[in-house]
């Protein structure tokens, strides 16, 4: 009986410790969200719809919002197809020389300083074009996006039991059909998680945009071959100002950026049904 009580006591202590550590782990996240809402919401409420549609001279961040969506769309258009193919290849041929080097390179790219990506793209895109541009920024963000999607794609497909492949080959399906019709659909939850994390990463990136997009806040972007604005870059610019009004605008822009992420991530993630194997 004493041993049973000892085990129960240890179990209770362990569960309490885990609950406390979990709370401590997520506390900074909630603190950030609450702070951004507390500081940013009064700014948006005070300036109204003009804050979301007006130019910087009118006290708005409309061009930055438009630029952020353009950059996210273009970087996804460039990076997602490549990342998915790379992730599938790394899964299909893990023991090949290219497969091993691909996996190593992806792990390196996950930790690679993004400011160096900006410098690299500036030299191969912005300087030859002779101008900052939305395309240069999107290309830099695509390079940052790809390893997240590729790694999550590979890991999600690895979770599928090998018996599914064996059964598919037994039915006479080709490798392409097995991947496209069986493995990828079964892995879609993990793959889309990687896509969302990659998009969240590029949506908040500032360093590579310093060398590629130039910034455009007095008018809306009209071409991807010309300078373009972005919310993270605008926030970086505003917080360097000694003006309290600029700091307030930076808080409002931070809240808009947070809402963009939440409105994309939460509905899509919630709509995905878990695949039970």
Q: What is the pTM of this model?
A: 0.85
pLDDT tens digit sequence for 183-241: 888 888 888 888 888 888 888 889 999 999 988 898 999 889 999 999 999 999 999 98
Q: Is residue 154 part of a domain?
A: yes
3-state DSSP assignment of residue 98: helix
Number of structural domains, the chain?
1
Q: Is residue 256 part of a domain?
A: no
Which of 196, 89, 218 has the alpha carbon at shortest distance from 148?
196
* 255/109 Cα distance (integer angstroms): 29
Q: Is residue 238 part of a domain?
A: no
CATH of the domain at 185: 1.10.3720.10
DSSP string, 217-235: -SS----TTS-B--HHHHH
Low-confidence ranges of the chain (pLDDT < 50): 275, 277
pLDDT of residue 126: 92
Q: Is residue 189 part of a domain?
A: yes
Q: Is residue 250 part of a domain?
A: no
* Structural domain for 112, as ranges: 60-230
Copy the structure tokens of residue 257: 């950026």
Query: Is residue 163 within 8 Å of 254, Cβ to Cβ?
Result: no
Q: Is residue 11 part of a domain?
A: no
| Residue partners of 264: CB distance under 8 A and separation at least 6 | 196, 199, 200
Q: Is residue 127 part of a domain?
A: yes
Max alpha carbon distance in the chain (Å)? 80
pLDDT of residue 181: 82
pLDDT of residue 74: 94
pLDDT of residue 145: 92
Which of 262, 208, 256, 258 has the alpha carbon at shortest distance from 233?
208
């Amino acid at each position: 009986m004493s041993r049973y009580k000892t085990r129960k006591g240890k179990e209770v202590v362990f569960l309490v410790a885990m609950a406390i550590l979990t709370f401590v782990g997520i506390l900074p996240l909630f603190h950030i969200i609450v702070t951004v809402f507390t500081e940013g919401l009064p700014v948006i409420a005070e300036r109204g719809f003009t804050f979301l549609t007006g130019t910087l001279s009118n006290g708005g961040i409309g061009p930055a919002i438009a630029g952020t969506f353009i950059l996210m769309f273009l970087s996804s258009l460039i990076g997602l197809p490549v990342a998915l193919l790379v992730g599938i290849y790394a899964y299909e041929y893990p023991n090949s020389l290219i497969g091993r080097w691909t996996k190593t390179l992806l792990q390196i790219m996950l930790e690679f300083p993004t400011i160096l990506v900006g410098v690299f793209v500036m030299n191969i895109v912005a300087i030859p074009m002779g101008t900052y541009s939305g395309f240069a920024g999107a290309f830099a963000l695509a390079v940052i996006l790809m390893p997240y999607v590729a790694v999550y794609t590979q890991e999600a497909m690895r979770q599928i039991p090998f018996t599914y492949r064996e059964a598919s080959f037994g039915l006479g399906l080709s490798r392409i059909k097995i991947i496209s019709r069986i493995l990828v659909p079964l892995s879609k939850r993990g793959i889309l998680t990687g896509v969302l994390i990659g998009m969240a990463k590029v949506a908040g990136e500032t360093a590579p945009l310093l060398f590629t997009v130039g910034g455009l806040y007095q008018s809306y972007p009209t071409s991807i071959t010309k300078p373009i604005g972005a919310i993270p870059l605008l926030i970086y610019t505003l917080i360097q100002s000694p003006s309290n009004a600029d700091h307030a605008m930076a808080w409002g822009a931070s809240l808009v950026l947070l809402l963009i992420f939440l409105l994309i991530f939460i509905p899509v993630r919630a709509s995905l049904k878990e695949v039970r194997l």
